[in-house]
Amino acid sequence: MTTLERLEGWRKSGTIREEQYQAISALVRKQRFSVYLELNVLLYLGVLFFVGGAGWTVQKYFSNLGDFAVIASLTIMVSGCFYYCITRTKPWSKEQVDSPNLGFDYVLYLACLLFAVELGYVETRFNLLDNQWDYYLLLSTLLFFACAYRFDNRFVLSLALTTLATWFGIRTSRLEFFQLSAIRGSAISFAIVAIVAGVLLHRAGVKKHFLETYLHIATNVLLAALTTGVLDKVWWYLPIALTACAVAFLCGLQFRRFAFVAYGIIYGYIVISARILQWKMSDTQVLTYFIVSGIVVLLGMILLARRIGRAA
């Protein structure tokens, strides 16, 4: 049976709608195909490479260019990007707002990254805040959050959350002289704050589609922090970490979000493996464990991905 025949059968049985049948069958017949994903990937990589090149140029040639030239160039680029976004954006709404064009989100993302480069350069050269330089992170966080909500941009929201997480870590660890436990505690605190903030904003109806971004970042930070506690052989982190992994796994199944299922499995596997490897085992036993368990985990994730995909 050909793919088109299967599609026809699904259409007749009501498994797929008529418009879905028309769209998929056109792709199967190679009448049309989408390069939307590829274009987005290229734009994203282009932004990262451009910012990386700008940062390298500033670091390598700032002595030849001079402070004024560097700051003026970065300011012009940042201002130009923000001007482009401000003059083309749609009116603000609590609901999701589509971007006016394909490149809009990436221009805004570029502006925020270049702003971070410029801020870092200014502090490095002039030490305006000296030991309180982490306030630059707080300033950047506020700007990124404002841009994310004004222009409905999840890239910038991710940038805001990661910058806020960095600020949490620096402020907390500074109080305890950069101890690992302090950084771990700040990561857990940040994750809890991010989850609560995301849920509250979702319930208030403010950019409800942003909730997943909050949960993705907070879940990874929380599970990573708990996992380091297990690796550090702090016994009470084990039940907490396994509980958190189970919650991520079950919520992913319930809401049909495979990423959270994967988070629960992967971090849970690391936690359990770390505990098992504390036993006295030969090299052969360790190798056998990783081969067998790795295959089981991989197959389980594939089956769950297919199940969630069919149910979605």
- Separation CA 261–CA 252 (nearest Å): 5
Q: Are 264 and 248 in contact (CB under 8 A)?
A: yes
- Separation CA 150–CA 90 (nearest Å): 9
pLDDT band at 104 (very low <50, low <70, confident <90, very high): very high
pLDDT band at 63 (very low <50, low <70, confident <90, very high): confident
Say if residue 85's pLDDT is above 60: yes
Q: Are 258 and 252 in contact (CB under 8 A)?
A: yes
Please give the full DSSP string across the chain, using - where no structure is assigned. --HHHHHHHHHHHTSS-HHHHHHHHHHHTTS----HHHHHHHHHHHHHHHHHHHHHHHHHHHHHH-HHHHHHHHHHHHHHHHHHHHHHPPPP-SS----SSTTHHHHHHHHHHHHHHHHHHHHHHH-SSGGGTHHHHHHHHHHHHHHHHHHT-HHHHHHHHHHHHHHHHHHHHHHTTT-HHHHHHHHHHHHHHHHHHHHHHHHTTSSGGGHHHHHHHHHHHHHHHHHHHHHTT-TTHHHHHHHHHHHHHHHHHHTT-HHHHHHHHHHHHHHHHHHHTTS---HHHHHHHHHHHHHHHHHHHHHHHHHHHHH-
Say if residue 30's pLDDT is above 70: no
pLDDT band at 59 (very low <50, low <70, confident <90, very high): confident
pLDDT by residue (tens digit) across 201-243?
A: 999 999 999 999 999 999 999 999 999 999 888 889 999 999 9
pLDDT band at 42 (very low <50, low <70, confident <90, very high): confident
- Separation CA 7–CA 4 (nearest Å): 5
Of 31-45, 101-115, 214-228, least confident by mean pLDDT is 31-45
Say if residue 185's pLDDT is above 50: yes
Q: State mean pLDDT over 151-163.
A: 94
Say if residue 116's pLDDT is above 60: yes
Q: State mean pLDDT over 99-110.
A: 92
| 256 or 176, greater pLDDT | 256
Q: Are 191 and 211 in contact (CB under 8 A)?
A: no
pTM recorded for the entire structure? 0.82
In the predicted model, what is the mean pLDDT of the chain? Answer: 86
Q: Are 196 and 210 in contact (CB under 8 A)?
A: no
Say if residue 36's pLDDT is above 50: yes
Please report, rounded to a whole number, the percentage of residues in the chain having pLDDT higher than 90.
51
Q: Are 230 and 243 in contact (CB under 8 A)?
A: no
Cα Rg of the chain (Å, integer): 24
pLDDT at 177: 45
